[in-house]
Amino acid sequence: MKERVLGNDLKVSEIGLGTMSMSFGYGKTPDPKEMVKVLQEAVELGEHFFDTAEVYGPYVNEELLGEALAPYKKQVTIATKGGIKVVDGKQVVDGRPEELVKSVEDSLKRLGLEAIDLYYLHRVDPNTPIEDIAFTMQKLIKAGKIKHWGLSEAGVNTIRKAHAVEPLTAVESEYSLWTREPEIELLPVLEELNIGFVPFSPLGKGFLTGTISADKEFESGDSRGALPRFQKEAMAANQKLVDVIKEFAKDKEATPAQIALAWLLAQKPWIVPIPGTTKIHRVKENMGAANLQLTHEEIAALTKAADEIQIIGHRYTPELAKRVGL
């Protein structure tokens, strides 16, 4: 797979692999042994950029990657995140420098690494000055514990303040054909500051693949069941966008997922989406989007068609939305 550059010099595969669903968030947890096979097959196929987080599982997702990718340490780039703790079964944002230092040490052990390639603050802690966190990341970089750092779901003012202390390599946030908010403020600021962008949920948590119908019943433990955008009425209305994507896919002899990913790749050369999956055939499918060439006219037509569809439902619950864009 071809490479892209995040920030000044972090080279990663053009499409990464988000691994959260291998341990967390989408209903029944897959067999870890099967996930080890998927991860290793992905590397053999040419995938070498993997995204995890301390809180995924919680904690076991990093261990999964540590086991699966141990034979490929020199071939892969691993991004992980800290700053969210689990207290009494609930996620709590905690960006205190001493807690982040501990989290980095713990992540290094779980991942079996001497240094983390890309370390994100998972969510901005309103009770901790971002400058203090940036200075902590600076010290961790100088100590050789992390190589690059980034922010997840941060607002542009926070990004500017953090970048002024210790340059950011990447920002991670949701971006896709049905989540277009980053185009308003975020993308222009990232381009100005030469910060890479790593969109998570680039396939709309599976909805943009065309495999989820409005009458789908989400199983217990599948976080999508609580999201406004995945309520039956919202999915029925949002099907219009999926239908558009399917038409483009038919014309290009591609899948809807490949069209959605190719559209993202076409937006900026420093955008690297990280679709998640637990199936190796989906890994292959997603990687194939890098070889799908959309013309300027096709990109414009798809963008225009998406612009004309009103997406129903917020992407987060009200509680989760409070942690975004600070």
Q: What positions carry a catalytic annotation?
A: 56
From the list 148, 59, 49, the residue with the least C-alpha distance to 102 is 59
Report how far residue 287's alpha carbon sits from residue 277's, in angstroms, rounded to the nearest whole number.
12
Q: Are 113 and 73 in contact (CB under 8 A)?
A: yes
* Distances 241 to 69, 191, 227, 266 between C-alpha atoms, Å: 37, 28, 18, 18
Q: Are 289 and 15 in contact (CB under 8 A)?
A: yes
276 φ/ψ sector (left φ>0, alpha ψ -120 to 50, else beta): beta
Q: Is 308 helix (H, G, I), strand (E, B) or coil?
A: coil
